[in-house]
A and B are shown apart, each in its own frame.
Chain A
């Protein structure tokens, strides 16, 4: 079974530029998550999708961050414009909502550096 795929693995941009990250979840997983992990901290949920609908985006900075999952499979997270404090690892995860524990499977992450 293929795992969660993310690209790119690394990205360096200057502040005020735009950036986009891509995620392909495990086949059949209806739930997809985007997390922000700042160095030395645990993952913080940015947005959660159930199929192509948003379940939770309460911690997404909507003035600069956006995410979509148009066909209920892969997803894109965008930052526009980026700030220095956006430097972090962006993790994508997926889960099978039919499995009662909500165990999440993580991709390798995208390390973003904003200069």
Chain B
């Protein structure tokens, strides 16, 4: 079975500052990793995904994430945030064990201040 831990429940940051949202996972098999964003009163939207290959993954809206197998981490970063990035961010891990199973973290609320 796999699990996902998002280390910060809330991250306040000033506009134009860099941000990192942390995600750690555990799994006994190879995994696919995702970051989703959820704006108020909306469903989840995919930001980026890691399947294989390069450990640095670039996504939409200027976000990127780095897969670190030794530390079992998949942290999300953005060099300069905007007010519009205020939202809930979810890390998810998907593994195939006879069928795909996806587990979501509890979420990190990013709050960008002017």
Contact = CB atoms under 8 A, between A and B. Distances in A.
Interface stretch (A12-20, A62-70, A71-79, A96-104): A96-104
A55 interface: yes
Contact of B43 (A42, A91, A100): A91
A106 interface: yes
Contacts of A45: 102
B49 A101 contact: yes
A25 interface: no
Q: Bin chain B's interface residue count.
A: 20 to 34
Interface string B22-63: 000000000010101000011111100101000000000000
B90 A102 contact: no
Q: Bin chain A's interface residue count.
A: 20 to 34
Interface in B68-114: 90, 94, 96, 99-102, 104-107
A107 B42 CA distance: 8
A45 B94 CA distance: 13
Given A41-B107, A45-B102, A107 B43 contact: yes
B36 to A, nearest CB: 8
B41 A106 contact: no
Given A102-B96, A105-B46, 17 more contacts: A4-B43, A6-B43, A40-B107, A41-B107, A42-B90, A42-B105, A43-B44, A97-B100, A100-B32, A101-B94, A102-B102, A103-B34, A103-B46, A104-B102, A106-B44, A109-B43, A111-B41
Q: List 8 tightest A-B contacts by C-beta distance, closest first.
A: A106-B43, A42-B104, A102-B100, A106-B44, A101-B32, A102-B94, A108-B43, A42-B106
